Amino acid sequence: MSNNNNNIMLNEIKKQLDKMSEMMEKMKIADYVELMQSPFRLLWLNFVGGLARGFGMAIGFTLLGAIVIYILQRAVLLNLPIIGNIIAHIIKIVQQNL
User: What are 80-95's pLDDT values in tens digits?
Assistant: 667 777 778 888 888 8
User: What are 6-20's pLDDT values in tens digits?
Assistant: 888 888 899 998 898
pTM: 0.49
DSSP conformation class of 78: T
Q: Which of 51, 31, 74 is nearest to 43 (CA)?
A: 51
| Residue 42 exposure: Cα atoms within 13 Å on the Cβ side | 9
Q: Which residue has the higher pLDDT, 26 or 92?
A: 92
